[in-house]
Amino acid sequence: MPEVTWTHPWLYDILKLIPINVKSLIDIGCGRGIIGAIVRIYREPTRLVGIDIFRPYLDFCHKMNVYDELYERDLRKTHLPFDEKEFDVAACIEVIEHIPKENGLKLLKELERIAKTVIVSAPKVFFVKRLTMTTPFKNMLVNGTLRISPNKVIKF
């Protein structure tokens, strides 16, 4: 069993932003499936999709059977293989700070293309975290915002 190394302090706040009747959600940078698991438990979507670049995380999510579909994808490359407004919600929680700013801005536009609602969060402060697994990304300092498409922004 993996050691608990990270939980988002605003999980409940994020869950409240996801409509009760959500039918489809894509979890961008799904990691070990924390967002997918709470959505599966508390929202019961008919389609739950996870995307991550890190194969061990995808293998873990597959083993836990959290998502209906899993994709290995480098988010620095912007095109996502989905149709316009294919998802009710795109959640990108604590991910965007791991990619360069230009790629992050392109990713936001791509999320707005594939989802009716986009929820994004990033750390508000710089913190040092003990890493238990190496990933191909470097952390970048960002101010935290929780953005709900198309025009609502919550700053922490």
The pLDDT of residue 44 is 92
41-51 pLDDT tens trace: 999 999 999 99
Is residue 140 over pLDDT 70?
Answer: no
Where does residue 86 rank: exposed (0-12), middle (13-18), buried (19+ CB within 10 A)?
middle
**CA–CA dist 43, 33 (Å, integer):** 15
Map tokens 């706040």 to a residue. 13
DSSP symbols for 115-135? EEEEEEE--SS------SS--
- Tell me whether strands 87-93 and 145-148 are parallel, antiparallel or unpaired: unpaired
- pLDDT tens digits, residue range 75-131? 998 799 999 999 999 999 989 988 898 999 999 999 999 999 999 988 765 444 433
Domains in the chain, CATH or no CATH each: 23-155 (3.40.50.150)
State percent of the chain over pLDDT 70. 74
Lookup result for tokens 């750390």: 123
Q: Is the dihedral of CA 18, 23, 28, 30 positive or negative?
A: positive
**pLDDT value for 139:** 35
Looking at the chain, the whole-number percentage of residues with pLDDT higher than 90 is 62
Q: What one-character DSSP code corresponds to residue 45?
A: -
Which residue blocks in the chain are alpha helix, DSSP H?
11-17, 34-42, 55-64, 101-114
For residue range 49-58, what is the model confidence (pLDDT) as tens digits? 999 999 999 9
Confidence of residue 142 (pLDDT cuts 50, 70, 90): very low
What is the rounded average pLDDT of the residues 24-37? 96
